[in-house]
């Protein structure tokens, strides 16, 4: 299926983002997120993970569309695992050692007795790889740039997560993948996977497709019903990557955050949001607003259904404002 991402403001405004019944049910399967359950989880430090079968022998473990807090323990991310003929393939490992251990236990429950043959890390953000400790480094694979990013920033991320999540993070250390990938395809345990080396959300965003089921694991290039995060974003490159993802044949897309997506909604929604973000912050820079003033601009109503949109918008102003200011108001050398 090949569909260009055409984003006209009128189309987007006319169709505010709202979830289908199936997507809502997926979220309940991922944990209801109510205050009572959240408090119980925090007391027990138990993620109580559950898996949703999104394709034959393919399970997603869906995180909440929130920011890290003591109630969710950092469980705000999607990870997945696939039973292949000779074992199991895992996509991303979650935010902590505790989460990685819980994920391993869940995999063993769903696919008892089968070895974990491959773990892919989609990118170096802490919610996606800090569970690596629970897996054998020799089977964890990612592009070299992701490995380099983890080596450079991983422990700093872990320290920051300790500050946000306390005991949920106990014992967690950054572990870099043991395998650097560069091939476009690899066969794991009797199953073929296609691999794409993209960028934009970070400087290295790795995308994996199970060629048998057609499920595409897009990492954080795609968000659905959750505002995209931008601490390492290059908006123009991200836009190009969304076009690439749109052109890939797939049966289903698993975004890094939000429910699974059979209609490329996550690509349209993410493109729409980052286009608006870029335009809004550029506009604030051009008008000479301070960063605080830029944080207060109205957010279009069509984005109201995106989780934590105001918070993420404010964070994005901090991330993107200096770069856009440099681009829009370049320093001019004055000679006398
Ligand atoms: Zn990310």
Question: At 176, is the secondary structure helix, strand, or coil?
Answer: coil
Q: What integer pLDDT is reported at residue 20 of this predicted model? A: 54
- Domain range for residue 101? 14-264
Q: What integer pLDDT is reported at residue 43 of this predicted model? A: 56
Give CA separation, 222 vs 158, 241, 244, in Å. 24, 10, 12
326 belongs to a structural domain:
no
Work out the pLDDT band at 42, boundaries 50, 70, 90: very low
* 215 close to 250: Cβ distance less than 8 angstroms: yes
Work out the pLDDT band at 176, boundaries 50, 70, 90: very high
147 belongs to a structural domain:
yes
334 belongs to a structural domain:
no
- Over residues 283-293, mean pLDDT: 94
Give me ligand 1 centre to Cα 121, in Å: 11
Give me ligand 1 centre to Cα 113, in Å: 31
| Helical pair 265-287 and 235-247, crossing angle rounded to 10 deg | 160
Q: In this structure, is the dihedral angle defined by the CA atoms of residues 177, 182, 184 and 190, taken in order, positive or negative?
A: negative
287 belongs to a structural domain:
no
Q: What is the number of domains present in the chain?
A: 1
Q: What integer pLDDT is reported at residue 244 of this predicted model? A: 98
55, 50, 52: which is closest to 23 by C-alpha? 52
* 166 close to 72: Cβ distance less than 8 angstroms: no
* 151 contact partners, CB below 8 Å, separation of at least 6: 176
Residue 8 has pLDDT above 80, yes or no: no
- Over residues 255-283, mean pLDDT: 97
Give me ligand 1 centre to Cα 251, in Å: 23
* Helix H or strand E segment including 122: none
Most confident of 24-38, 41-55, 108-122, 313-327: 108-122
For residue range 49-84, list pLDDT tens digits in order: 999 999 999 999 999 888 888 889 999 999 999 999
Give me ligand 1 centre to Cα 35, in Å: 26
Q: What integer pLDDT is reported at residue 90 of this predicted model? A: 98
* 89 close to 81: Cβ distance less than 8 angstroms: yes
Partnered with residue 26 across adjacent β-strands are: none
Q: What integer pLDDT is reported at residue 143 of this predicted model? A: 98
135 belongs to a structural domain:
yes
131 belongs to a structural domain:
yes
Q: What integer pLDDT is reported at residue 164 of this predicted model? A: 92
The secondary structure of the chain in percent helix, strand, coil, rounded to multiples of 5, reads: 40, 20, 40
Work out the pLDDT band at 325, boundaries 50, 70, 90: confident
Least confident of 37-51, 217-231, 261-275: 37-51
Residue 243 has pLDDT above 50, yes or no: yes
Give me ligand 1 centre to Cα 223, in Å: 10
What does the DSSP 8-state code read for residue 245? H
CATH code of 223's domain: 3.60.15.10
Give me ligand 1 centre to Cα 127, in Å: 8
Give me ligand 1 centre to Cα 178, in Å: 20
Give me ligand 1 centre to Cα 75, in Å: 13
The rounded distance, in Å, linking the Cα atoms of 222 and 269 is: 8
Give me ligand 1 centre to Cα 331, in Å: 31
71, 138, 73, 82: which is closest to 101 by C-alpha? 73
Least confident of 6-20, 180-194, 312-326: 6-20
278 belongs to a structural domain:
no
Give me ligand 1 centre to Cα 108, in Å: 27
246 belongs to a structural domain:
yes
How many CB atoms neighbour CB 159 within 10 A?
12
Residue 141 has pLDDT above 70, yes or no: yes
The rounded distance, in Å, linking the Cα atoms of 11 and 8 is: 5
Residue 322 has pLDDT above 60, yes or no: yes
Give me ligand 1 centre to Cα 148, in Å: 16
């Amino acid at each position: 299926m090949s569909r260009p991402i055409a984003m006209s403001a009128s189309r987007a405004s006319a169709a505010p983002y709202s979830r289908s019944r199936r997507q809502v049910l997926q979220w309940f399967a991922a944990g209801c997120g109510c205050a009572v359950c959240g408090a119980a989880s925090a007391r027990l430090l138990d993620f109580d993970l559950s898996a949703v079968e999104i394709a034959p022998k393919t399970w997603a473990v869906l995180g909440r569309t929130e920011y890290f807090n003591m109630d969710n323990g950092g469980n705000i991310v999607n990870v997945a695992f696939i039973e292949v003929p000779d074992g199991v393939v895992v996509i991303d490992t979650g935010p902590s050692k505790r989460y990685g251990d819980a994920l391993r236990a869940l995999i063993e429950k769903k696919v008892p007795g089968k070895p974990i043959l491959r773990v892919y890390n989609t990118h170096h953000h802490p919610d996606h790889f800090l569970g690596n400790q629970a897996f054998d480094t020799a089977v964890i694979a990612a592009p070299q740039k992701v490995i380099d990013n983890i080596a450079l920033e991983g422990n700093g991320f872990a320290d920051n997560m300790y500050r946000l999540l306390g005991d949920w993070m106990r014992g967690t250390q950054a572990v870099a993948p043991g395998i650097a990938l560069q091939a476009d395809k690899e066969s794991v345990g009797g199953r073929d996977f296609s691999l794409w080396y993209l960028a934009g959300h970070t400087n290295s965003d790795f995308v994996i497709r199970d060629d048998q089921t057609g499920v595409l694991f897009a990492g954080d290039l795609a968000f659905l019903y959750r505002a995209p995060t931008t601490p390492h974003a290059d908006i123009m490159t991200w836009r190009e990557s969304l076009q690439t993802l749109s052109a890939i044949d797939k049966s289903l897309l698993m975004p890094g955050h939000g429910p699974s997506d059979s209609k490329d909604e996550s690509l349209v929604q993410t493109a729409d949001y980052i286009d608006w973000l870029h335009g809004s912050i550029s506009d604030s820079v051009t008008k000479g607003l301070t960063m605080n003033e830029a944080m207060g601009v109205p957010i279009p109503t069509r984005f109201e259904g995106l989780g934590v949109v105001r918070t993420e918008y404010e964070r994005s102003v901090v991330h993107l404002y200096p770069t856009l200011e440099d681009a829009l108001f370049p320093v001019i050398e004055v000679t006398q």
